[in-house]
Amino acid sequence: VSATVLYMSVSLDGFIAGPNAGPGNGLGDGGERLHEWLQLRRADLGSGVPGRPAGVNGQLFDEFMATGAVVAGRGTFEPAGGWGGDHHNGVPIWVLSRQPPGIDVSQWPLVSYANDVKRAMTDAKRAAGEKNVLVHGAATAQLALAAGLLDELELHVIPVLLGQGRRMFDNLGPAHIALQRTRMIEGEDGVTHMHYRVAR
Amino acid sequence: VSATVLYMSVSLDGFIAGPNAGPGNGLGDGGERLHEWLQLRRADLGSGVPGRPAGVNGQLFDEFMATGAVVAGRGTFEPAGGWGGDHHNGVPIWVLSRQPPGIDVSQWPLVSYANDVKRAMTDAKRAAGEKNVLVHGAATAQLALAAGLLDELELHVIPVLLGQGRRMFDNLGPAHIALQRTRMIEGEDGVTHMHYRVAR
């Protein structure tokens, strides 16, 4: 069955970007450390397509590149240059935003801006068919979790304490969200891939 | 070689206590979820000694109960009733606090209050001899990390998003702290035991 799956690289202390993240600095100061396992450096952000790592880490890369649609936040999509309009394999991309596009997307038929998380997730799931939906971005994940629209989480835990930055989990309510651990993989370079299903 | 090792139960979203933690509510609202694997309930806090779980989780319990000294924050020690003056096996306990004791410790010869993290960690390490030092509490861990006095971290990651509460990692500076993943254990009840060494 198709699932909406959050894929995020996160420091052990829970940050997905360094401090001062924003336009022109999408990973935040020092945030490229979190993406070294994908061979994604700050200089690559414009082109946007991460590299496939070797070994077990490559298996995870293959997994999220096999998804059938993408739902990402504007804060993820735009600093990455919109992935040139195609994240992978021509699958459709929904960009969650309450504002009009901050970059020119008029030539990118795969890209839709949406301001409603439920609508975006529903449309993406339908478009993905039998495949999973790749969910990306902290704000998007928080909205999807709060709305009960996120099915699974895959966190790539990087062996570093960033100390400061943008947190993966923030702004949630006090209600507990129970999880089931479904898979744990010790990847190369100390990266641990933790997979959970949201219990409902 | 003896090491200072932080042992903490933490939700996947990085909380070590629920919201509104404080005197009389040491685990915070709903925070007992994080300690179920230790069979430690809110009602047990006064007596303070957690129970030994079965299976792999018990192995971790044995490990931290084999330490030769304890360094804990006042916010951990006092709501737990000071563990009755003896956390385990009569090992000495240093309580980090900038204030005088908030509970009567005059009959507890194992307990020393200290306001300097370096002094407390040094004294604890000497007292522990060949054994490790059990470090406990978020504020204490943050001070020890910032001062370069923490050698290892063992996080018991609980499969739940607490949403709100007291964070394990907070108030650190922007300097990255590199870690080496040294052990990963899939415990019972979805608890994942993640062990890291601080790289220096």
Q: What is the pLDDT of residues B17-58, one digit of tens each?
A: 999 988 788 899 999 999 999 976 555 555 555 678 889 999
**Virtual torsion, Cα B72, B148, B181, A66, nearest 10 deg:** 100
How do beta strands A111-114 and A93-96 pair? parallel
Burial class of residue A178, CB neighbours in 10 A (0-12, 13-18, 19+): middle
pLDDT band at B176 (very low <50, low <70, confident <90, very high): very high
Residue with tokens 């007291």: B166
Gap from B73 CA to chain A (nearest CA, Å): 20
ipTM beyond cut 0.90: yes
The reported pLDDT for the residue numbered B22 is: 82
Give pLDDT tens digits along chain A (200 positions): 799 999 999 999 999 999 998 878 889 999 999 999 997 655 555 555 567 888 999 999 999 999 999 999 999 999 889 999 999 999 999 999 999 999 999 999 999 999 999 999 999 999 999 999 999 999 999 999 999 999 999 999 999 999 999 999 999 999 999 999 999 999 999 999 999 999 98
The answer to whether the Cβ–Cβ distance between A174 and B159 falls below 8 Å is no
Contacts A192 to B, Cβ<8 Å: 181, 184, 194
pLDDT of residue A43: 52
* Predicted pLDDT at A104: 96
Element (DSSP H or E) covering residue B120: helix B117-128
Q: Is A24 exposed, middle or buried (0-12, 13-18, 19+ CB in 10 A)?
A: exposed
Contacts of B13 in chain A (CB under 8 A): 14, 168-169, 172
What pLDDT sits at residue A25? 87
In this prediction, residue A39 carries a pLDDT of: 76
- Give the pLDDT band of residue B134 (cuts 50, 70, 90): very high
The answer to whether the CB atoms of B30 and A172 lie below 8 A apart is no
Give the residue ranges of DSSP H helices in A46-199.
55-65, 74-77, 117-128, 138-146
Q: How many CA atoms lie within 13 A of A87 on its CB side?
A: 26
Alpha-carbon distance of B155 to A109, in angstroms, equals: 45
Three-state DSSP class for A140?
helix
d(C-alpha A47, C-alpha B95), whole Å = 52
CB pairs under 8 A between A and B: 108
pLDDT at res. A42: 52
- Does A169 contact B161 at a Cβ distance shorter than 8 Å? yes
> pLDDT value at position B44?
54
Give the integer Cα–Cα distance in Å for B57 and B191: 8
Q: Which of B139, B156, B165, B129 is nearest to B53 (CA)?
A: B156
A57: tokens are 């880490």
Tens digits of residue pLDDT in B75-130: 999 988 999 999 999 999 999 999 999 999 999 999 999 999 999 999 999 999 99
A29, A163, A169 ranked by CB distance to B173: nearest: A163
Q: What whole-number distance in Å separates Cα of residue B21 and Cα of residue B32?
A: 11
| pTM greater than 0.90 | yes
Taking an 8 Å cut-off on Cβ atoms, the answer to whether A160 and B174 are in contact is: no
Indicate the pLDDT class of residue B177, thresholds 50, 70 and 90. very high
